[in-house]
Structure 1
Amino acid sequence: MLSLDLPVIAAPMAGGPGTPALVRAAARAGGLGFLAAGYKTPQAVADEIAAMAGDSVPFGVNLFVPNPVPVDLAAFRRYADLIAGEAERYGIALDAGSPTEDDDHWHDKLDVLRAHPVPVVSFTFGIPSRDDLAVLRATGALLVQTVTTVAEAEAAADAGVDALAVQAAAAGGHSGTFTPTRPIADTPINDLVAAVRRAVDLPLIAAGGLATADDVAAALRAGAQAVAVGTVLLRSDEAGSSAIHKAALADPARTGTELTHAFTGRPARALRNEFTDRYSALAPYGYPALHHLTSGMRRAAAAAGDPERVHLWAGTGFRHATAEPAAAIMNRLAGTALTHPLTHPAREATHDRHRS
């Protein structure tokens, strides 16, 4: 389906950074961009697809696959009590009575994509059922599964997806691991790509800590057909990142990242701040319960310009995030690898449909 002039993809970034403007800029640069459906209402997803439809450029939509991590109720309430003071400074009372355990409107979003087909659909957190994959395949979409291990890659290949996004632990934001309560191996992206390449015969997109042209070239040599980048685009002109997030990425006092489940109950890589330092070792696992528990606090902190109680998602290459147009960033990352096709048998038919 894809024949990219640049082997660089703007990764889906839920929560605001992944705007239609960023997706559009990635496509016009010769790459590809993904709208992030995670946390949005089905109507908001439909509206963003409609906003892209008039541009006649390829793009993808990323879905969070329901793979709940049920939270222990007693541990949930203890954690809510522990962090209550962080929220109270903004007049937020945490609801510790009953955890919210939802599926991010999974079936409604499938209905949106069935009614409004898009060129590419990718999945994070788990593999959809075969019936759900069949629903999306019938729309003509290329199906891309995020995986973090060889075992996950083999399972995804058995399920019948078309390509894999191979994500290393260095990636910013949530890990796509299927088993979030287990330790995440710190395997370098090129080693992980090479291992997956040996195990499955599918096109691979490398992701995780890729921030320079040398990084991209090395991932392609390791066996990837393209790379996906997110953190290096967070300060781009078209990104919807908050002002405090952009400032934190450029702050020389921010010296490192860590995997933490303190904000959402699921491991995600972020810049260290006061909240991660205090609570990463104390938080229980529980997704999406902790996400909903802390979301009001995080929104209020962002509105107040407080970076210490906000999830500052960032990969290990965050120092390379620059304030400039996304196209300039993507072209620089591509370096001399200006043509590296990722193809799919339905490409021409799908392109014809979207041109019409």
Structure 2
Amino acid sequence: MWPDNRLTERLGLTHPIIQAPMAGASSPAMAAAAANAGALGSIGAALMSAEDLHAAWAEARGATNGGLQLNFFCHQPPKRDAAREEAARARLAPYYEEFGLGAPTEPTASPPFDEARLEATLEAAPVAVSFHFGLPERALLQPLKDAGIFIICSATSPNEAEALEAGGVDAIIAQGWEAGGHRGVFDPSTGPGEMGTMALVPAIVDRVSVPVIAAGGIGDGRGVAAAMMLGAAGAQLGTVFLTSPESLVGAPHKAALLASDGSDTTVTSAFSGRPARSIRNRYVRETEDMLPADFPLMNPLTRPLRSASSQAGSGDFMSLWSGQAVSLNRDEGTAAIVTRIAEEALALLKR
């Protein structure tokens, strides 16, 4: 028996564990496997068109009747700065030449959660929808709430958490500094959101009334149990699933994860224009002083390099997203990961 059943009862889960919705890395097969094991399976739809979202949802739902959620970005439109964007292209040009990619082109921005994605989400009718980088405007959020969809959003500080509760969320992900991938920070006064998970969770639990979900630096049952002892109602894990067979990341990324002890990760904005935790590689080291184009304009500028590096079997220019608990990763299937971690956590909580 879990000490807090608010998430399991509301979302129809066996375990208060969320497989993180890692856009471009998680897959419908991963989401379905997590759901079948009793966790909340997630589809990272932030970079998907409405059509791709429909296809991914159909694939996942066709493989499970368990709990599934969709996740979206709610970033602000980028601040266009021609000089800054040209400087970023010039900085990347030698790398493009190295891979024979020609010259970097004018970047275009991927849109945040919008009407088309709202319509596709309402049609899919997931049990939950989660957001990163804040919440969408009320006109886009209210239809989800009216449909009875559970709303989750990431916070990197107590102030952000209070803002999310006031905005109508049903649960808050307390994303600690240890987490891999993009920081969910949306309050500029917070900076990159540098509070660690074990400090952030109780600070947020003490400030809000909705369930808090711990994320960042959690890779086994010990982390889940510790988070719940601090007042979390559940835990979201991402990096631990990246080395599963259901993961979409390339072989160089998986190899880097399995070889890492976590000390070689760092937060960089050089891939996308927003702070994100990655394993250090050649690109990260050589762009430490770079002023990137604003998010998400940097994404299309680095995408050709990331793809070419992966195709060459090299991780030198890939975004090797990883949390600090990566030393706990194994070559293990998604369902087995969920079951093992749940059993580990329950055994510890019963002591």
State the Cα deviation string for residues 102-135 of structure 1 (Å, max 9, x = none): 4146321111012221111000012111121111
Aligned to 2:15: 6
Q: CA deviation at 1:60?
A: 0.4
Q: CA deviation at 1:180?
A: 6.4
Alignment map for 1:303-342 (pairs within 5 Å)? 303-338=311-346
State the Cα deviation string for residues 301-336 of structure 1 (Å, max 9, x = none): 111112011100000011111111112222222235
Amino acid at match of 1:140: G
Contact 2:114–2:140 (8 Å) recurs in 1: no
Aligned to 2:130: 122
Contact 2:179–2:324 (8 Å) recurs in 1: yes
Select the residue among 122, 126, 141 that pairs with 2:149: 141
Contact 2:306–2:317 (8 Å) recurs in 1: yes
CA RMSD of aligned residues (A): 2.0
Residue 253 of structure 2 is aligned to residue 245 of structure 1: yes
Q: CA deviation at 1:59?
A: 0.6
Residue 272 of structure 2 is aligned to residue 264 of structure 1: yes
Query: Quick one: distance in 2 between partners of 1:102 and 1:19?
Result: 20
Select the residue among 95, 100, 106 that pairs with 1:86: 95
Aligned to 1:162: 170
Contact 1:100–1:292 (8 Å) recurs in 2: yes
Query: Quick one: distance in 1 between partners of 2:95 and 2:293?
Result: 19
Aligned to 1:232: 240
Query: Quick one: distance in 2 between partners of 1:163 and 1:271?
Result: 30
Query: Quick one: distance in 1 between partners of 2:301 and 2:189?
Result: 19
Select the residue among 226, 240, 249 that pairs with 1:218: 226
Q: CA deviation at 1:140?
A: 2.1
Residue 58 of structure 2 is aligned to residue 73 of structure 1: no
Alignment map for 1:35-46 (pairs within 5 Å)? 35-46=43-54
Query: Quick one: distance in 2 between partners of 1:58 and 1:213?
Result: 21
Amino acid at match of 1:268: A
Query: Quick one: distance in 1 between partners of 2:344 and 2:313?
Result: 40
What secondary structure sits across from 2:131 in the alignment? strand
Contact 1:181–1:285 (8 Å) recurs in 2: no
Query: Quick one: distance in 2 between partners of 1:259 and 1:68?
Result: 22
Aligned to 2:5: none
Select the residue among 283, 287, 291 that pairs with 1:283: 291
Gaps of 5+ in 1: 340-356
Amino acid at match of 2:282: E
Query: Quick one: distance in 1 between partners of 2:323 and 2:262?
Result: 13
Query: Quick one: distance in 2 between partners of 1:94 and 1:179?
Result: 35
Amino acid at match of 1:8: I
What secondary structure sits across from 1:308 in the alignment? coil
Question: How many residue pairs were aligned?
Answer: 337
Contact 1:264–1:290 (8 Å) recurs in 2: yes
Aligned to 1:349: none
Query: Quick one: distance in 2 between partners of 1:179 and 1:286?
Result: 16
Select the residue among 76, 99, 109 that pairs with 2:117: 109
Query: Quick one: distance in 2 between partners of 1:185 and 1:90?
Result: 35
Task: Choose 182-191 or 224-233, whichever is displaced more.
Answer: 182-191
TM-score, structure 2 normalization: 0.90
Contact 1:60–1:122 (8 Å) recurs in 2: yes
What secondary structure sits across from 1:307 in the alignment? coil
Query: Quick one: distance in 2 between partners of 1:271 and 1:278?
Result: 13
Gaps of 5+ in 2: 1-9
Q: CA deviation at 1:291?
A: 0.9
Amino acid at match of 1:87: Y
State the Cα deviation string for residues 144-203 of structure 1 (Å, max 9, x = none): 111111111111111111111110111100111104696324322121110111111001
Contact 1:180–1:266 (8 Å) recurs in 2: no
TM-score, structure 1 normalization: 0.89
Q: CA deviation at 1:255?
A: 4.7
Aligned to 1:351: none
Query: Quick one: distance in 2 between partners of 1:209 and 1:180?
Result: 23
State the Cα deviation string for residues 49-74 of structure 1 (Å, max 9, x = none): 11233331211000111323425321
Query: Quick one: distance in 1 between partners of 2:71 and 2:159?
Result: 22
